[in-house]
Structure 1
Amino acid sequence: MENQTNQPSPENIMKIGTGFWASKILLTAVSFQLFTKLAEKKTMKAKDIKDFLGLKCTDRNTYDFLDALTAFGFLKREGILDTAIYSNTLDTDMFLDKNKPSYIGGILEMMNNRLYTFWGNLGEGLLTGLPQNEAKKSEDFFGLIYQDPEKLKEFTSAMSGIQMGNFVAFSQKFDFKKYNTLIDVGGSAGLLSIMVATHNPHMNCTSFDLPPVQPIANTTIQQFGLSDRVKTASGDFFTMPIPGADIVVMGNILHDWNEENKIALMRKAYDALPVNGAFVAIEGIIDDERKENVFGMMMSLNMLIETGTGFDYTFADFNRWANIVGFRTTTLLPLTGPSSAAIAYK
Structure 2
Amino acid sequence: MTTNQSTEPSPGHILQMGTGFWASKVLLTAVEFDLFTLLADSNPLTAAQLKQKLNLHCSDRNMYDFLDTLTGFGFLNRTGILETAAYSNTPDTDLFLDLKKPTYVGGMLKMLNNRLYGFWGTLEEGLRTGKPQNEAKHGENLFDAIYKSPEQLESFMNAMTGIQIGAFMAFAQKFDFSKYKTLTDAGGSSGLLSTVVANHQAHMSCVSMDLPGVTAIAEKTIAKAGLNGRVKAVSGDFFNDAFPAADMVVMGNILHDWDEEQKLSLMKSAYAALPKGGVFVAIENVIDDDRKTNVFGLMMSLNMLIETGTGFDYTFADFTRWAQLVGFSSTSLLPLVGPTSAAIALK
> TM-score range with shorter-chain normalisation?
over 0.9
Q: What is the CA–CA distance in structure 1 between the aligned matches of 2:12 and 2:194, rounded to whole Å?
A: 44
* SS at structure 2 position matched to 1:5: helix
What amino acid sits opposite 1:35 in the alignment?
Answer: F
Match of 1:266 in 2: 267
Query: Equivalents in 1 of 2:58, 2:219: separation in Å?
Result: 43
Aligned counterpart, 1:298: 299
The amino acid across from 1:76 in the alignment is: N
Matched, 1:231 2:232: yes
* Within-5 A mapping of 1:1-346: 5-346=6-347
Deviations 1:211-244 (A, max 9, x none): 0101111111111111111110111000111111
Partners of 2:221 and 2:140 lie apart in 1 by 31
- What secondary structure sits across from 1:77 in the alignment? strand
Following TM superposition, the consecutive aligned residue runs of length 4 or more in structure 1 with deviations greater than 4 angstroms are none
Q: Number of aligned residue pairs: give it.
A: 344
Per the alignment, in what secondary structure is the counterpart of residue 245 of structure 1?
A: coil
For normalisation by structure 2, the TM-score amounts to 0.98
1:137 to partner: Cα distance:
2.8
- Alpha-carbon distance in structure 1 between the residues aligned to 2:78 and 2:223: 39
Partner of 2:7, secondary structure, is coil
Q: Which runs of 5+ in 2 are unaligned?
A: none
Whole-angstrom distance in 2 between the partners of 1:4 and 1:342: 41
Paired letter, 1:221: I
Letter matched to residue 261 of structure 2: E
**Paired residue type of 2:77:** K
Question: Aligned letter for 1:342?
Answer: A
**Quick one: distance in 2 between partners of 1:339 and 1:4?**
35
Structure 1: unaligned runs, 5 residues or longer? none
1:64-83 CA distance string (max 9 Å, x none): 11111111111111111111
Whole-Å separation in 1 of the counterparts to 2:26 and 2:275: 49
2 CA distance for matches of 1:236 and 1:4?
A: 58
Q: TM-score, normalised by structure 1?
A: 0.98
Q: Which amino acid aligns with 2:13?
A: N
Amino acid at match of 1:18: T
Aligned partner of 1:319: which letter? T
| Structure 1 vs Structure 2 CA RMSD | 1.1
The letter of the residue matching 1:152 is L
Q: Deviations over 1:236-274 (max 9, x none)?
A: 000111111111000000000000000110010000111
Deviation at 1:5, TM superposition (A): 3.0
Displacement after TM superposition at 1:4 (Å): 9.2
* Percent of pairs with identical residues: 65
Matched residue SS, 1:12: helix
SS in 2 for 1:238: coil
CA distance in 2, matches of 1:72, 1:181: 43
